[in-house]
Structure 1
Amino acid sequence: MDKLPKIGIPVIIIIIILIIVIAKSAVTIDSGEAGVLYKTFKNGVVTDEPPMGEGFHIVAPWNKVFVYEVRQQELFEKMRVLSSNGLEILIEASAWYEPVYKDLGNLHQSLGENYLQRVIQPAIRSAARSVVGRYTPEQLYSSKRDAIQDEIFAETKVILEKQYVQLNEVLVRDVTLPNTIKEAIERKLRQEQESLEYEFRLVTASKEAEKVRIEAQGKADANRILSASLTDKILQDKGIDATVQLSQSPNSKVIVVGGGESGLPLILGNN
């Protein structure tokens, strides 16, 4: 076997070294991610330049690139907190968050890659304890869920704005009370509903009775006015009108004009 030329070995070594250097220097950043450059021999973390975007990058082999996900992410938390009267409440909530893209270098320098555990979880837990502590279990169970969701979001957002993290939304998925408290609240709500229904029936009955009374009073007033306005002459005229109409009916046979009392017509039928 022919021996390699003396110049061949150094070339092979150089090629191997180049391959290793390129491999260590090549950085690929996937979609939804960004890179923070750390310069070993110059000031460390780069904070005065935009993060490295998606795609292929070449960096010096002695430098490092820390890759962060910059898409919106979700944190799901189960928290045990105390209500205003000291009862333990279980809250299930989700927080939607993402790192502030332009401040990714500052985030890496101040908090590092585990910023979720260092700042986001403590922030949302602190806000939840603060907000829930202002309400009673009954308020949390019925009418204040949207309010505590908005307040937890507002308080958490204030904390995270100083930590290079953007909070997009907080969703309170469930509020669980102790069974005894939950049953007592449900029983009270049922009683209140039954009381409201009873009051509604009373009001409806009262209105119906008032309607009947007004109708009866109206009829009585109408009859009184009619009685006062009827004279013998009017009755006679109405009797004559009725006689004319009845005379045109096939069922009427004999009509004696002036045959009845008060001079009204007397009508004789078939029999």
Structure 2
Amino acid sequence: MPADMNDYFKKKKPSNNSGSNQNNSGGGNFQNPMGNMGKGAPWIFILLAIAFGLFALKPFTIINSGEVGIKINTGKFEDTPLQPGLHFFIPVLQKIVPVNTRIRLITYSDVTTGALGDGYRNYEGGLKRNPAITVLDRRGLTVNIDLAVQYRLRAETAPKTIEKWGTSWEEKIINSKVREVVRDVVGQYTAEQLPEMRNEIAAAIETKIKQSVQELPEKPVILTSVELRTINLPTKIKEQIERVQIAKQEVTIAEQMKEKAKQEAQRKAEIARGEAEKNRIEAQGEADKIRIEAEEQAKANKLISSSLTNELLQLEQIKTQGKFNDALKVNKDAQIFLTPGGAVPNIWVDAKGKEQKTISAEQ
């Protein structure tokens, strides 16, 4: 294409004669439609064509945080995942597929709840709801298990995982393994044992699911947690368990009352033993007191007896006679009888009264 489109169209312009003939035939002079756009018009068209091609073919994509990109070259997956950021590719020959590596949650429950994260579907990790897992216990009774599993796709092996398992890798890996393990673990117990063995069953399910997933080649999934939420038993089994629980509670209450009565009896026995011991100690103390007083009195009497002499006795008799003599001065009719040997006490008799009174005088 000539650089100057005006010159090009001038050269192609017909002569005057032909022009007159064209005028006669009713045709007009040919005008260059780009004559007034200048020399930069071709570049504008080129840029517009490139912009249209970029918009239509879109040879780039943006990988968000929490995602990795899988680049596909003519149908073959590249082993190295693309990290978050802007990435270009060749349209038709190449393609980049974003894959979510955030934590995902899959629930197995018959309880329906509202959708979560509907306003952020492009950024949330992912939420799947499945019906509760139906399991047969050891006796063949139907039991429904309510579970919640958290997991995420391993970013390093995401291309190989998608290449091998496809986009339905969750169903093929997580869902199948969870159901298989739950049926295997719960099937070892009877329905009545499940509530009592809940903690052991939950631990066994989590351990076996993690072990089953980690044993897969390339370890495509990282299992975060497995939560056993509810064990839904048949109605008859529930009623039977409730009756057993009520009976156990009644037995427990009776045992508690029995133990309380036993403790009360022991308490009273201890009080009685304490009271008896107290009385014994008090009686022993009183007896010891009397014995000690008697011993002390005997010692005193012995000392008194050892200290008495004939001279002292005669002196005491003289003192007593002196008192009687003083009494006779007041009552001359009184009679005094002296004990043989002059021992004291002597006997005083008042002869004035109609009745005799015996007075013992002791010193």
| Paired letter, 1:144 | M
1:69 aligns to 2:100 (yes or no): yes
Structure 2: state its 5+ residue gaps.
Answer: 1-30, 36-40, 109-131, 294-363
1:28 aligns to 2:62 (yes or no): yes
Residue of structure 1 equivalent to 2:82: 52
Over 3 Å counting, the alpha-carbon distance change for 1:231 and 1:53 in structure 2 is closer
Q: 1:34 Cα shift? A: 1.2
Contact 1:68/1:113, CA 8 A, preserved across alignment: no
Q: Secondary structure of the equivalent of 2:98?
A: strand
Structure 1: state its 5+ residue gaps.
Answer: 238-271
Residue of structure 1 equivalent to 2:235: 179
Q: 1:18 Cα shift? A: 6.6
Residue of structure 1 equivalent to 2:212: 159
Q: Secondary structure of the equivalent of 2:157?
A: helix
Residue of structure 1 equivalent to 2:264: 208
Report the aligned-residue RMSD.
Answer: 2.9
1:150 aligns to 2:203 (yes or no): yes
Contact 1:131/1:151, CA 8 A, preserved across alignment: yes
- Segment of structure 1 superposing worse, 226-235 or 198-207: 226-235
1:109 aligns to 2:163 (yes or no): yes
Over 3 Å counting, the alpha-carbon distance change for 1:10 and 1:225 in structure 2 is closer
| 1:151-173 deviations in Å (ceiling 9; x for gaps) | 22221112222150111001122
Over 3 Å counting, the alpha-carbon distance change for 1:160 and 1:4 in structure 2 is farther
2: CA distance between counterparts of 1:231 and 1:177?
Answer: 76
Contact 1:94/1:171, CA 8 A, preserved across alignment: yes
Q: 1:92 Cα shift? A: 1.3
Over 3 Å counting, the alpha-carbon distance change for 1:11 and 1:230 in structure 2 is closer
Which structure has the bigger radius of gyration?
A: 2
Q: Secondary structure of the equivalent of 2:72?
A: strand
Tell which has more relative contact order, 1 or 2 (C-alpha 8 A, sep 6+). 1
The percent identity for this pair of structures is 28
Count of residue pairs brought into register by the alignment: 231
TM-score by length of 1: 0.75
Q: 1:149 Cα shift? A: 2.2
Give every structure 1 segment of 4 or more consecutive aligned residues whose post-TM-superposition deviation is greater than 4 Å: 8-15
Residue of structure 1 equivalent to 2:13: none
Q: Secondary structure of the equivalent of 1:201?
A: helix
Q: Secondary structure of the equivalent of 2:192?
A: helix
